[in-house]
Amino acid sequence: MGRSATVVSPLVAATFAMLLVSCSGVVAGAPSVTRTGEPIYGLPVSEHTRAELAVAAAARDLAPCGLLDRDLIASFGQVTAYGPVGDLSTCHAELVPARGTPANPVWVEVTVGEREPTERTGAGEATSGIEVRPAAGALPGTCTLYFSLPPVPGAADAPGRWGHVSYLDGAGGTGDSAAGDDCAEARTVLASVVGRLGSPVSWPSDIPLAQQDPCRVVEKLSGRGVEAFTPGSRPYECLLTLRGGAEASVQLALSPEPSHAGGPETVELDDKPFTYFRDAIECHYYFYPGAVFDTNVPSSPMSERDKIGNRLTASVAASAPSCDDAETLVLAATEVFDY
């Protein structure tokens, strides 16, 4: 395998690094996590890891856009964008409220499957058996409410996962919610989400990589030094321990279309094209399976339809301190996810 040397500006590297960290039914190849003692993807696992995989799989089964009611969002204003973004565990909507302008849209998001809240939170309260914690110290005009996901049968050895609802007023953070309460809209969305958790709404199954388990790459790495694996902080990330204790990862996401100029170079490995860059810690390889997914809606103004951020494509990223290990991982990932 060979790769070309690449020099990347700090800004470009930071942008792509953010992409690393930036929907219903059973998927073929999902691990049989409930059967004690059997290997998963050809590798023996502990009962704790088995439970962790079950919890992550349950989170992937919750389509975030099946939880975010588009009709409800439309009651807040004109919806201009709606669909999955980021690591596939987030549904994002943009809208223009009656008092707003397209230049300052409101953002509403639902994310599912976080290992734990990523912000400091206030005191929790129970809503229909779901624990809810508000993010502490929110800026005016913003509100984030974390909620616990339902427990997964047979996975008591692993902590449950979380989700959150976020509402961001794009009018400069003035805190002038239409309801006079920065969290009023977020609570309305959360009530709808909690209601749908008990009977999830299906979402189109043609979204590239949706519900796929990134840890499936392990089955293509037999004999190549994978010592252990476990789900990451989000359900579309797999953390691997390689020979000698080196840490690596595989992540699935929806990302803006790759730039044809000014970004990391495209390199070839085994006659296949990949995007590659190296930061101070790791080598990163990407490839982009599937078609472009457009989150614009028919009512989107022309100014919105030109936004590159509204046109997303599936991306698979493999990262490791050793470039040789990263190459091995990304090539194995093409055998699973390149469709």
All residue ranges of the chain with pLDDT < 70 are 1-37, 171-180, 200-206, 259-263, 299-309, 339
Rounded to whole angstroms, what are the CA distances from 123 to 63, 134, 185? Answer: 27, 7, 20
Structure tokens at 51: 């439970």
* Predicted local confidence at residue 203, as pLDDT: 66
Over the stretch 33-66, which tens digit does the pLDDT of each residue have? 445 668 899 999 999 999 999 999 999 999 999 9
Distance CA 273, CA 258 (A): 12
* Predicted local confidence at residue 236, as pLDDT: 96
Domain ranges within the chain, ordered by starting residue: 10-60+207-337, 76-197
* Predicted local confidence at residue 48, as pLDDT: 92
Over the stretch 266-287, which tens digit does the pLDDT of each residue have? 889 998 889 999 999 999 999 9
* Predicted local confidence at residue 12, as pLDDT: 33
* Predicted local confidence at residue 17, as pLDDT: 37
